[in-house]
Amino acid sequence: MANTAHLVRRQSSRDLKPQKSVDRLEMKEMRGRLVVDSRKNPTTNYGTTNPGFDDSSPSIKAKKPNAPAHVSVNVSSSIVESTAPKMPTGSTEGKGIFRPEAGEDERENWDSKLTFLLATVGYAVGLGNVWRFPYLAQKNGGGAFLIPYFVSPYLGGIGISSAVVSFNVALYYNTIIAWCLFYFVQSFQSELPWSECPNKYFQNGSYAPEPECQESSPTQYFWYRTTLMISKDINTPEVFNWKIALALVIAWILVYMCMIKGIASSGKVVYVTATFPYLVLIIFFFRGVTLPGMSDGLRHLFTPKWYTLTDPVVWLEAGTQIFFSLGLAFGGLIAFSSYNPVNNNCYRDAIMVSLTNCFTSMFAGIVVFSVIGFKATMVYEKCLVDRNSTLIGIFGHPERFPDEIPPAGTLLNFTNGNNSVDNIIMPEIPECDLQKELDNSASGTGLAFIIFTEAINQFPGAQFWSVLFFLMLFTLGIDSQFGTLEGVVTSIVDMKLFPNLRKEILTGAICLVCCIISMAFAHGAGSYVFVLFDNFSGNFPLLIIAFFECIGVSYVYGLRRFADDIELMTGNRPGLYWLICWKYLSPLAMLTILVASFVEIICEGSGYQTWVPNKGSTERQEWPTWALVLIFILILASVLWIPAVAIFRLLGIPIIDDNEKAWFPAEDLKEFHGIVPHEVTAAEKLLFCIRADGSEGMCCPTGGLNDDDDDIDNGNLT
């Protein structure tokens, strides 16, 4: 499924201040990049008196003399995401067209293109690539865009919904980072604490291995009992987990310190957090390909189970993985992209980030499944040794093994050397199945904290590999957390909810609130609450948000108009494939997945896995009523803004301030790229119902190129 991503960013009041010292900006191409020339020319002021971009975009009409050359739509990056960035004039670092200076409170900008790309790659490539993608690939058989106010006043709630989803995800995502910190610290012990079962001491001074640990495994016991201090179900929190609570506080402090100066600080951190995981993955790759059982793990990864494709939940999880992995519909990529120059090549960035993310998922999958194959092989071979040892004790020699092993409890009669008959009751003989061991690989957090740690126990120098692994998970998580939280902070700043609050103070307040709320994950039932958030705070809301974003851009704003805007920014017009995907395929696919998944969950029910101590395993339980109410609130709190803003607007009660103009140098972009008015092709007329006056069918705007529109005046959308 192809996803689009578009943004029409609103210009804040600081953008309306008169420019200070530059009367004319003239773009030159020097040594492969654009720079700004501040030569004086009294006849033309960039951004104030440039003639308008006349007829190549249906969203722009001819400008009157002395009219501002502002147009509202702009495109940025993430499977073609868009934004209206603001860059200061006079800089040669942006490699693009910059907004005239707007005073001391001008918008931040990236130090370099590399910083932006590392930030977006770091945001897109996260923990999901290492554990969520391999798990879903095994389990299921082998646009992110914020549409702000100017696309349509009735769709302004989509941006708020994205910010709410980002906030909900940030709450539990940092819990994973806290778990990684806890394991990272524990890895510095002389003997890894999850390598052996702890002893249980009795009053008489004797001791024995913990029975619960022997029923499961040392890694499972350490995860469920030592780390999570898990309770029997979500209704019984039992004890407060101060160790995880402390790790959460440290994690939130680290996130705030890295974001305190916005992209000026987080942009420096991503040089490490976005590159270090690749170094570790490469090291683990060369270690993994030398392990026994590697080929079995990779065969399991790449062998499809076609029957799973009939399950709609499989498609929901696959679609959600794309959204989580690329950061689609969260708003984080929009926030990052809003600091780019206006003519940033969003298409190239989107393709590069998507391919990097896809490569990382596959590469991480190979690394993970080579280790899983090794772990499964070790368990399988140990099972065979134990099984053969038991059979030899019964039958005496492998040649005397029966073709079919009698079931447990069968009375066996043997004649001994004295010609007397010995009766033996057949014990339980374990079934050794390599495929079953591969299928039983843990999911999600269990993949990292149970399966991978169990495999690391078998490595020489296990402490080194453990430190390396959990440091990699920490860096993967924290740079994704930057993007997720940036989507919240930037939305609040741009909506001017707290206009007098400095951004670093606002960021600190948000981190503090998130830290307090995230204590809900730091008790015995915290891991169950975590699963609830992980399953429902993102899945359905993200698909719903993206669906309405596609509808808003393709049917309300207009596909041809949007294609014109992309051409203005990049110099290239999107092909029919992208247009068809944006208008028809993507909305249809998302709607189908949503409806089918809702029906599946309603019919089959929804539950979670609880830890059963006496069995040393998990079993499924249904969500209690209060948890179902919380699930409903999580989904509703995210998507309710979409109809709410539209209803309030219909009643004449605007929630979002719409009295400011957007900045977009259409004429300069047209001149620089040499763009000529686009002639509608026969295929476009047929596929997209484009009429003679330039308007589009199927609920698209009815206004033509030369129609007067009260909301469009001299290139300014209000």
Q: Is 420 left (phi over 0), alpha (psi -120 to 50) or beta?
A: beta
Q: Helix/strand/coil (H, E, C) string of 514-545?
A: HHHHHHHHCECCHHHHHHHHHHHCCHHHHHHH
Q: How far apart are CA 196 and CA 156, in angstroms?
A: 55
Residue 480 annotated as part of some ligand binding site: yes
- Token look-up 């977009």 returns 664
Residue 539 annotated as part of some ligand binding site: no
Query: Cα 199 from chain centroid?
Result: 41
What token pair was written down for 227?
A: 């780390």
Q: Name the DSSP class of 471.
A: H
Residue 707 annotated as part of some ligand binding site: no
Residue 413 annotated as part of some ligand binding site: no
Residue 26: phi and psi, rounded to 5, are: -130, 125
* Cα angle 132, 133, 134; round to 5: 95
Distance linking the first and last C-alpha atoms of the chain: 33
What token pair was written down for 623?
A: 């969500």
Extract the runs of DSSP E, i.e. beta strands, from 304-380. none
Residue 419 annotated as part of some ligand binding site: no
- Token look-up 């022997």 returns 214
User: Dihedral of the CA atoms 690, 695, 697, 702 (nearest 10)?
Assistant: -170
- Is residue 426 a contact partner of residue 410, using CB atoms and an 8 Å limit? yes
Q: How far apart are CA 231 and CA 224, in angstroms?
A: 9
Where is 617: in which H helix or E strand? Answer: strand 617-622
Residues forming beta bridges with residue 618, ordered by sequence position: 611
Task: Supply the angle between the helices 242-259 and 157-186 in degrees, to the nearest 10.
Answer: 120
Residue 262 annotated as part of some ligand binding site: no
Residue 124 annotated as part of some ligand binding site: yes
Where is 444: in which H helix or E strand? Answer: helix 444-446
What token pair was written down for 309?
A: 């494709």
Where is the binding site for Na(+), in residues?
A: 122, 124-125, 129, 325, 357, 476, 479-480
Q: Which residues are annotated as a binding site?
A: 122, 124-125, 129, 325, 357, 476, 479-480
